[in-house]
């Protein structure tokens, strides 16, 4: 019987960024490279093999990806591994976005993907984590963890109590309040990141058998 390719062996790992654990394919791993100097601020940017955006890209880097930049050449940044990335799509590691709701709104229309957290697809808690991380806040990965760790409890039963940036939690789901009347969330009903009237979302999810468990307010 032929030996199993070790690259196809599942590996149990833990993310340094948020402590999340899980399985992944061993062929997705490589030795750590040089320390990052910049991060991606566009929803997605391409890494090219040479100094031309007309070349076929080698890979796509998502929002928040950390890269080690060796030098800048006009509007391109050269990584220490020799690839070229659009310089306007990068910022120093200490750059933070001012409004995590605005970051979430940039993902409007992105397909729903359970476990996803990039512009190729994301889930409800992935959207919250990516948006909050972009503003420099520490955010756990899953909605139940987020409900326990984030913000202060809001008495959501009060009329007009919700405000932009509040997080509304149901069992297994989380949404971000945009303006007190609407929210934005990645959800399997729309199969996308969608803006939805707050009342309609609460009613629809309630009719599906789930009530709001809490509302948490993120300090600005």
| Catalytic (active-site) positions | 124, 173, 185
Find the Cα–Cα–Cα–Cα dihedral 220, 195, 17, 31, rounded to 10°. -150
Ramachandran bin of 64, using left for φ above 0, alpha for ψ from -120 to 50, beta for the remaining angles? left
Residue with tokens 């100094």: 51
Q: Are 33 and 81 in contact (CB under 8 A)?
A: yes
Helix (H) or strand (E) holding 124: helix 124-134
Secondary structure tally for the chain: helices H, strands E: 4, 18
Side-chain half-sphere exposure of 167, counting CA atoms within 13 A: 31
Phi, psi of 86 (to 5 degrees): -60, 120
Side-chain half-sphere exposure of 107, counting CA atoms within 13 A: 36
């Amino acid at each position: 019987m032929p030996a199993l390719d070790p690259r196809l062996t599942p590996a149990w790992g833990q993310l340094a960024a948020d402590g999340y654990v899980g399985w992944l394919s061993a062929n997705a791993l490589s030795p750590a490279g040089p320390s990052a100097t910049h991060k991606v601020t566009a929803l997605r940017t391409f890494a090219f093999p040479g100094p031309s955006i007309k070349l076929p890209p080698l890979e796509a880097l998502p929002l928040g990806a950390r890269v080690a930049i060796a030098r800048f050449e006009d509007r391109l940044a050269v990584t220490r591994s020799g690839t070229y990335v659009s310089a306007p799509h990068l910022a120093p590691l200490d750059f933070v976005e001012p409004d995590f709701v605005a970051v979430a709104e940039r993902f409007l229309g992105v397909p729903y993907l359970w476990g996803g957290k990039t512009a190729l697809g994301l889930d409800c808690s992935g959207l919250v984590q990516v948006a909050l991380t972009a503003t420099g806040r520490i955010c756990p990965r899953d909605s139940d963890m987020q409900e326990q760790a984030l913000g202060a409890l809001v008495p959501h039963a009060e009329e007009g109590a919700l405000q932009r940036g509040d997080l509304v939690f149901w069992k297994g789901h989380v949404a971000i309040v945009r303006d007190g009347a609407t929210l934005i969330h990645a959800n399997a009903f729309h199969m996308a990141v969608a803006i939805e009237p707050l009342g309609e979302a609460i009613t629809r999810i309630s009719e599906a058998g789930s009530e709001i468990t809490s509302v948490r307010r993120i300090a600005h």
